[in-house]
Chains A and B, each alone.
Chain A
């Protein structure tokens, strides 16, 4: 985050202080960013000058946990982990497992609509939020939605701020529908010999009546991938040998066992190895899985594909050229070399993908030099297989070369008009986007 010499750091203690801070900044035409734990503060475009940081972490209470109704109203600065510890007292949870789950806040999750493997069953924050209290730049506190899971009164503005990255209004608190914590859980990890075999696994699971809570595919090499650490080492640099499918079932213990058995029977002819884990090993597996894509250096992008196109998507990824001749020349950046170093080429170039198999969405890590990353992202955007390619982690140099968000297409005029309507002085989010 690029800061002006001394951004004013405000830690509001209540909703009206949030609204007041937004109004003061807007009136004074000061650039203001809303911040939770800062786990994603480098997402979006490089920040312009920041005059005020609105640190939401003092707003960290669970305002209500109506366990009989399975809803909770939570302040924006509360950490997901703390929230889920409190909800667990009544056997309930907010079923989200995003990256940085130990620190991520409720407000940040809504702002980025971030999620993890549990998305397969439970969706993203936008699917779980049922009400919201917002503070707008005119200093007004307004709510939308409500406290009940079923409600269609008025516009659902909780959706509008979801994915807005704090560029329209501040989320002060939000109400969510909750889920019961399942009694038992087990996870199957499988290796596929090649992309065709992996695609077949995806096809079989999607067409089956299995009901997993998570269904993941990852290309991370097992030497770098703790998932497979107990398994064999990998042969050479073959990208295909690192294809892993991870399926998690959670329900009553006997049901989990039945589902694991059913899945194993259905899939064993497609896999080169299959293992079931539970308990501490399972928790360790998922903890490692959550950080896997982030632990290695490189740019990280969000991307989507059609689930049945997974083989083509992975082949496309494997075929990315370090520098595409077809890519438009990158704009010259002072101090940035437009050509990749020979060392980078020698190290190899191996993008990795981790994602939700049946949703068709995930994260791609692109290693290499800035020019290679930029080229790879342009290639992904030009491909017919991938869509909605958005840079999340990337150097300032990369983000200067390739737009973080890509084209908003026909939605751009609406985005512009929404921004003018809700943030007329353009003070929110320091130009990081998406609007």
Chain B
């Protein structure tokens, strides 16, 4: 990156909004996957879409690769900088543009946090449904890039089901409007393509989402079981009965103990706990909740706790949502994966993971979205013990192979990013990947827009996937992993 480029960059966003000092760049070396680090040549902090356009045009002219970054909470290295490239940090595009309660739509800039959308509409009885556990701090732009989910996507879907439109800057600097407040933009669903494209096709500068009316009733229970198979059988029977819970979460004993140590949710000391939440019309929740409770009893639930108050419900969720960060209480280091299996294959795959745990000598905690088969195995290790870091990586890769064997996916909500790109050929054929690359080249013919993500590339020296280390944001206690 030459001086002229930096001069132009300063002209666009102002001196104080260009960072190129080594110390300042430290913050931007990684996202919430801190073992992958790269120092960008500079960081630009635009505050408007026209500035983003100008920056991208400048990059295109100078052939400088660029990486868009929201609030850096991604778990797959999607915002990992490119050496010698530019990071375009969108934190200052943080305006709430329009809150339209009658039409149940909200338009925000990408730097607005997920939870802030809900905060703006909660007084009117509405909320924004996708709820990644980092929702207090993650940006909606990052949610769009990753197609974020959360505990409640079993019933309510992912970001792609809640975004009505985006305004985006293409890698050639053109501003394009895709979708919007009005439904049914004619032609191919470019919106559905861009959501989840991990920042490789465009930089989103405005997002219109739909908001939902709060359900009439919410009911949550926590049930404990002696075996993970019993918990799995309950999930199968609930779904088999035609019930779509708002959320179904499972935790195994290691995850339970960790959560208990960290936030004291008062979980029973059990092999497995299951959290089931139903929401909707009061009459419906009442009737279906009975079925859920009976199903738990039939499969030998050792305890069933029904949340009687909002406070109790929040406590149950606090225990669940703290599970990742809580691993720090029981292990010096851990590595989290995000594989998906068909729900019916959960018991089989969990048993394989338990066999792997015994064989590898590394403890593996399991926290997962049981309703949609999204696993979050937490592989515990101690980096001070020689070889354990590498062993953790191998164990994680093996778990992903179980997911693929079972007909599942490498990632349910964290994204491929830089972390799992080398595994893509285990899920997709060269033809599959070539077609995706053709589409990518339509948007980004010169390969400048977040290169090195999603698709397998020959790795650079030292750029290896690896285990988890605490991100500064997480260490400060403002974010958790999900």
Q: Which residues of A contact B (CB under 8 A)?
A: 66-71, 91, 113, 123, 126-127, 134, 136, 140-144, 146-164, 168, 179-183, 203, 206-211, 251-252, 254-255, 258-259, 302, 304-309, 358-361, 387-388, 390, 405-406, 408-411, 413-415, 417-418, 421-422, 434-435
Known: A410-B175, A414-B176. A157 touches B435 (CB 8 A): yes
A150 touches B369 (CB 8 A): yes
Chain B residues in 8 Å Cβ range of A168: 188
Closest 4 CB pairs of A and B: A159-B192, A180-B242, A308-B102, A68-B344
Closest A residue to B412 by CB, please name it: A150
- How far is A334 from B422 in the complex, measured between Cα atoms in Å? 60
Known: A150-B372, A417-B442. A211 touches B433 (CB 8 A): no
| B333 interfacial by beta-carbon distance below 8 Å | no
Smallest beta-carbon distance A113→chain B, Å: 7
Identify 12 residue pairs between A and B in the complex whose beta-carbon atoms are under 8 Å apart, listed by A's number. A68-B239, A146-B340, A150-B158, A152-B409, A157-B439, A159-B191, A160-B193, A259-B281, A304-B182, A305-B182, A308-B103, A434-B186
Chain A residues in 8 Å Cβ range of B147: 152, 156
Closest B residue to A417 by CB, please name it: B442
B284 touches A255 (CB 8 A): yes
| B265 interfacial by beta-carbon distance below 8 Å | no
Chain A residues in 8 Å Cβ range of B477: none
- How far is A141 from B280 in the complex, measured between Cα atoms in Å? 42
Chain B residues in 8 Å Cβ range of A156: 147, 160, 192-193, 195-196
B373 touches A154 (CB 8 A): no
Smallest beta-carbon distance A238→chain B, Å: 27
Q: What 0/1 pattern do residues 105 to 128 of B give for CB contact below 8 A with A?
A: 000000000000000000001000
Q: Which residues of B contact A (CB under 8 A)?
A: 100, 102-104, 125, 146-147, 149, 153, 157-158, 160-161, 170, 174-178, 181-193, 195-197, 213-216, 236, 239-240, 242-244, 280-284, 287-288, 340-344, 369, 372-374, 407-416, 420, 424, 427-429, 431-436, 438-443, 454
Known: A68-B344, A207-B213, A258-B283. A160 touches B412 (CB 8 A): no
Chain A residues in 8 Å Cβ range of B146: 152
Q: Give the residue of B125, B160, B280 whose beta carbon is less than 8 angstroms from that of A211.
A: B280
- How far is A149 from B408 in the complex, measured between Cα atoms in Å? 9
Chain B residues in 8 Å Cβ range of A390: 184, 186
Closest A residue to B438 by CB, please name it: A421
- How far is A308 from B434 in the complex, measured between Cα atoms in Å? 44
Chain A residues in 8 Å Cβ range of B161: 123, 127
Known: A150-B340, A155-B439, A252-B287. A141 touches B186 (CB 8 A): no
B193 touches A157 (CB 8 A): yes
B372 touches A148 (CB 8 A): yes
Residue among B103, B147, B174, B341 facing the most chain A CB atoms (10 A cut-off): B103
Known: A410-B175, A414-B176, A421-B441. A153 touches B409 (CB 8 A): yes
Chain A residues in 8 Å Cβ range of B175: 410
A410 touches B182 (CB 8 A): no
- How far is A180 from B288 in the complex, measured between Cα atoms in Å? 14
Known: A207-B213, A361-B184, A415-B188. A150 touches B153 (CB 8 A): yes
Smallest beta-carbon distance A186→chain B, Å: 13
B439 touches A255 (CB 8 A): no
Smallest beta-carbon distance B281→chain A, Å: 6
Chain B residues in 8 Å Cβ range of A306: 100, 103, 181-182
- How far is A304 from B182 in the complex, measured between Cα atoms in Å? 6
Chain B residues in 8 Å Cβ range of A159: 160, 188-189, 191-193
- How far is A207 from B196 in the complex, measured between Cα atoms in Å? 31
Query: 9 more A-B contacts (CB under 8 A) besides A152-B412, A410-B174, A410-B175?
Result: A69-B344, A150-B412, A151-B408, A152-B149, A153-B424, A158-B192, A252-B287, A406-B186, A415-B188
- How far is A117 from B356 in the complex, measured between Cα atoms in Å? 49
B284 touches A152 (CB 8 A): no
- How far is A68 from B342 in the complex, measured between Cα atoms in Å? 9
A151 touches B411 (CB 8 A): yes
A148 touches B373 (CB 8 A): yes
B186 touches A146 (CB 8 A): no
Residue among A148, A255, A387, A408 facing the most chain B CB atoms (10 A cut-off): A148
B443 touches A387 (CB 8 A): no
B439 touches A153 (CB 8 A): no
- How far is A361 from B164 in the complex, measured between Cα atoms in Å? 13
Smallest beta-carbon distance B71→chain A, Å: 18
B193 touches A70 (CB 8 A): no
Chain B residues in 8 Å Cβ range of A361: 182-184
Known: A151-B409, A152-B413, A421-B441. A144 touches B436 (CB 8 A): yes
